[in-house]
Structure formats: structure tokens, C-alpha cells
């Protein structure tokens, strides 16, 4: 039932071998809101999609090696404040059923925020042996409040298409308005989540960091999205998108995409695992790589278990995702996509930090200027925190009239490291990150 397509990337590159998992069933929707056809085992097209992208774009492979080297050396020294990722959900529909409701979309955002914060209701299903590994990733999500042009938005686009089904991960029409999909919003500022009728039996796929900006999002089957509306058990708990967003933040499948015990997911605290798990295994689930209890971590979001049987990212996976946030996806830290039109931190005097291809922070030393807008008179505070969360400096704390303000932060007396500046104005709070290197 499965084919394993093995492709050698590069011997230097640590995730050297992947397999492609593919099953033959497909979802067939119609316009009469007929019962959704039961889905079989979970299938994710991420490996296939990224292999194809690398064939088409050799730079992607080079970027992947660079990012992996960066990730390997990242040890997560920061206890940083929360980052909230601006999300745009592109609904691309051929039938009324596929034009999923706002409520269904909101239910998916809620699942992401629960799962990434370890606030999901089913943490009690994590076996005791692994409970200490359950991670709050400090990553949260908002539906975008402003679009790439700076206009107000709901964070949802809706596009009627003549495409009855997008043919799995090799069909890139979904990313282009002119081809029946929707053009991506700037991936440096937004997480683009597409929902459509995805063929090929896939529940979803995502692009790893370092690839084509025009396809750098996740694509998800409309009936494996959120927890209400048109959802299809056993993929009705929003975990398909949790899984795909994990890929977008550079996580691999927990079994390392090979059925043997040699390939790893490059995360130390997830057990080596043979093949993927499907359905809902009972604990402990053992395999050739983990013959003894507690066995394999089938309840990890990056396995293929049913939605109701997944419940954690590990601390190691959180570190890996956080490496993506300070590395290839660092530009998200400066996105104002979550900021409603109104009180607006526009930009900082930190030099242009991120290029399209290699998004690593450039440091400041020792002075940086922070600029923000206040749309109406408010009590405003602008404070600096160090990576441990200690208040380091108060740049302003007073009533301000509407206008644009500039404040210098002179870090001459501070050690190198990551700092956060937090603007509070009335009900509004925004947190941004900057790096001081001397
Ligand atoms: Zn996957």
C-alpha cells in the first residue's frame, strides 16, 4: 500500500534520506454537501513537495544545508517572550462545501494556539514518562489584522476556483491567482495556510524553510481543518494543520522518513522510530527501534496517528522550531501583521536585517532607534527586556498624544545578547526582538 521513494540529497546534509508515503485513496467532494468520504490513514505530502522543489531550485538545497548547520548549532539560550505569528488563511473552493466557514477557520487557529502552547485539553493523554518533555513553544498565532498593503483584513481570503481538486503536492496552481489558486502573501511577514480540495489522498503538505518565496506555505484538505463545520473524522481535531505548521517551522516526521532505525528526525528527545504509526495505537507501542516500553512516541504531532491520539511537541522539537524563528524565519519577528490598524509600531532603526534568501539577524551596537506610531492619546510604555525576561530599560512611560515617536536605546553598558522591546499603548501590546553583539 505504500511506496517508499528514497532520494539521496547530499552526504553533508544530515537529513539524507526520506521516503515518500502515499496511499491510493482520494477524497471526492460534490456540490450537494454529501457526507464526506471517510479518510483512511494520514498522508502528508511534505517530503515529496520539498524534494520536487529542490529538483526545480538547486538553491533550495544549498539553503537547506545552511539552515541545518545553523539549527544544529542553536541551543536555545533564550527564554524569550512570546511571538505571535500573523496567519492568512486562503480558502480556495470549487464547491460551497469547500468554502469553509469563518467559524471553522477560527477553530483551527484556536487549536494551533492550544497545541503550540501545550494548552491542549488532551495533555493528560501524554504518557507520564514523556509528560516532562511536553513543550510550550512560545509560538502563538493570530489571523492577520493588516494585509501586505497595510489595509485592514480579516486574515481570510476566499477564492472560487474551477479546479475541482489540486493534485497533491506536485500541483502548485494553488499558490497562483492566475492558475486558480491565490497568490501568497509575503512569507517573510505571514504564515500562509491554504485550504482546498487536495487530491492524491493527502491531508496536507508544507514547505520547509529556505525555499521558493512563492510557495512557502502550508496546504491543507478543507475537511481536515479545524474542529467544527465540514470536518471528517478521524482528522477533525485540527492536528493536520498543527503537523504541517510544524514542518513549516522545520520539523521532520518523527520517524525520520525511513522505516529503519538509522534515520532520525534530528531531535534528541524523540525516540528513534521505525515506520510511521497510523490510527490510534495503545501505549506502549513498541517497534524494531524501540523494542521495550515506553516504545515509540506515537502521540507526537509529527507522527501519522489520528488527531485524537496526538498531543505533544517535545522540548527538542520546540528548540528546533525556535531555531527557525531566529534563523530562516526571523523576519516574522518584525512583522506587524497582527497589529490592528490604529496604534502601530511601524519600524525600528535597526538596520535592514533580513535578506530574502538568508534571513539571519544582523546585530546592533550599541545604539538602536525604536520608532512607533500612536494613533490616539494613550498611556504609553516602551520597555526593554533581556532574554531572561528581566526589565532592562524603560524608554518611555507616560501619556502621549497621537503621533510618531523615536527613542534611542543605548546598550553601551549591556552585554551582547537578545533583547526585546515591548510597546504598550492602552489595550495594545507589541513585542519585537533585537540582537546586540559587541
Ligand atoms: Zn508531514
* pLDDT tens per residue across span 251-269: 999 999 999 998 999 999 9
Coarse DSSP helix, strand, coil percentages of the chain, rounded to the nearest 5 percent: 20, 25, 55
**Is 19 part of a structural domain of the chain?**
no
CA of 243 to the centre of ligand 1 (A): 6
pTM listed for this prediction: 0.73
Q: Can 258 be counted among the known catalytic residues?
A: no
Q: For residue 121, count CB atoms less than 10 angstroms from its CB and return exposed for 0-12, middle for 13-18, buried for 19 or more.
A: exposed
CA of 331 to the centre of ligand 1 (A): 24
CA-based max dimension of the chain: 68
Query: If phi over 0 gives left and psi between -120 and 50 gives alpha, with beta otherwise, what is residue 289?
Result: alpha
Closest CA to 223 of 23, 34, 1: 34
Which residue out of 78, 244, 258, 276 is catalytically annotated?
A: 244
Q: Same structural domain for residues 366 and 258? A: no
Helix (H) or strand (E) run with residue 347 in it = strand 344-348
Q: Same structural domain for residues 225 and 272? A: yes
- Kindly report, residue by residue over 189-228, the tens digit of the pLDDT: 999 999 999 998 999 999 999 999 999 999 999 999 999 9
CA of 247 to the centre of ligand 1 (A): 7
CA of 83 to the centre of ligand 1 (A): 23
- Kindly report, residue by residue over 306-328, the tens digit of the pLDDT: 999 999 999 999 999 999 998 89
**Is 41 part of a structural domain of the chain?**
no
CA of 299 to the centre of ligand 1 (A): 14
- The stretches of 100-196 forming alpha helices (DSSP H) are 102-117
- CA 137, CA 371: separation in Å to the nearest integer? 29
Q: Same structural domain for residues 188 and 265? A: yes
- The stretches of 57-101 forming alpha helices (DSSP H) are 58-73
User: Which domain, by its residues, includes 408?
Assistant: 342-436
The pLDDT assigned to 158 comes to: 98
Count the domains in the chain. Answer: 2
Q: Same structural domain for residues 183 and 225? A: yes
Q: Same structural domain for residues 222 and 299? A: yes
**Is 27 part of a structural domain of the chain?**
no
The pLDDT assigned to 25 comes to: 31
- Kindly report, residue by residue over 385-431, the tens digit of the pLDDT: 877 778 899 998 998 887 777 788 888 898 877 777 877 776 666 67
CA of 312 to the centre of ligand 1 (A): 15
**Is 25 part of a structural domain of the chain?**
no
Amino acid at each position: 500500500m505504500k511506496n517508499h521513494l528514497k532520494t539521496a540529497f547530499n552526504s553533508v546534509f544530515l537529513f539524507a534520506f526520506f521516503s515518500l508515503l502515499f496511499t491510493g485513496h482520494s477524497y471526492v467532494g460534490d456540490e450537494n454537501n454529501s457526507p464526506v468520504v471517510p479518510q483512511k490513514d494520514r498522508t502528508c505530502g511534505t517530503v515529496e513537495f520539498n524534494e520536487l522543489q529542490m529538483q526545480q531550485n538547486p538553491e533550495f538545497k544549498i539553503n537547506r544545508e545552511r539552515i541545518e548547520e545553523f539549527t544544529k548549532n542553536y541551543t536555545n539560550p533564550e527564554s524569550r517572550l512570546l511571538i505571535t505569528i500573523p496567519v492568512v488563511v486562503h480558502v480556495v473552493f470549487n464547491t460551497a462545501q469547500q468554502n469553509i466557514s469563518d467559524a471553522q477557520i477560527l477553530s483551527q487557529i484556536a487549536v494551533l494556539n492550544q497545541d503550540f502552547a501545550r494548552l491542549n485539553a488532551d495533555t493528560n493523554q501524554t504518557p507520564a514518562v514523556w509528560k516532562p518533555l511536553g513543550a510550550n513553544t512560545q509560538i502563538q498565532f493570530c489571523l492577520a489584522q493588516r494585509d501586505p498593503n497595510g489595509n485592514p483584513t480579516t486574515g481570510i481570503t476566499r477564492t472560487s476556483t474551477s479546479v475541482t481538486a489540486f493534485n497533491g503536492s506536485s500541483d502548485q496552481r494553488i499558490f497562483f491567482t492566475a492558475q486558480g489558486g491565490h497568490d501568497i502573501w509575503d512569507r517573510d511577514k505571514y504564515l500562509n495556510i491554504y485550504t482546498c480540495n487536495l487530491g492524491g489522498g493527502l491531508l496536507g503538505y508544507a514547505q520547509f524553510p529556505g525555499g521558493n518565496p512563492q510557495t512557502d506555505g502550508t496546504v491543507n484538505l478543507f475537511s481536515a481543518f479545524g474542529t467544527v463545520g465540514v470536518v471528517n473524522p478521524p482528522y477533525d481535531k485540527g492536528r493536520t494543520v498543527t503537523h504541517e505548521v510544524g514542518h513549516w517551522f522545520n520539523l521532520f516526521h518523527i520517524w525520520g522518513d525511513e522505516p529503519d532505525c538509522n534515520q532520525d528526525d534530528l531531535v534528541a528527545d524523540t525516540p528513534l522510530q521505525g515506520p510511521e504509526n497510523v490510527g490510534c495505537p495503545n501505549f506502549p507501542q513498541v517497534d524494531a527501534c524501540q523494542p521495550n516500553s515506553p516504545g515509540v512516541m506515537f502521540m507526537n504531532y509529527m507522527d501519522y496517528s489520528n488527531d485524537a491520539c496526538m498531543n505533544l511537541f517535545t522540548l527538542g522539537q520546540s528548540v528546533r522550531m525556535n531555531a527557525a524563528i531566529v534563523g530562516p524565519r526571523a523576519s516574522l519577528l518584525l512583522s506587524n501583521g497582527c497589529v490592528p490598524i490604529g496604534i502601530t509600531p511601524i519600524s525600528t532603526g535597526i538596520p535592514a536585517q533580513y535578506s530574502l534568501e538568508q534571513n539571519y539577524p544582523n546585530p546592533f551596537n550599541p545604539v538602536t532607534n525604536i520608532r512607533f506610531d500612536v494613533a490616539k492619546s494613550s498611556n504609553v510604555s516602551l520597555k526593554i527586556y533581556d532574554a531572561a525576561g528581566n526589565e532592562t530599560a524603560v524608554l518611555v512611560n507616560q501619556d502621549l498624544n497621537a503621533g510618531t515617536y523615536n527613542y534611542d536605546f543605548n546598550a553601551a553598558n549591556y552585554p551582547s545578547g537578545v533583547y526585546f522591546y515591548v510597546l504598550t499603548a492602552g489595550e495594545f501590546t507589541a513585542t519585537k526582538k533585537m540582537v546586540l553583539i559587541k
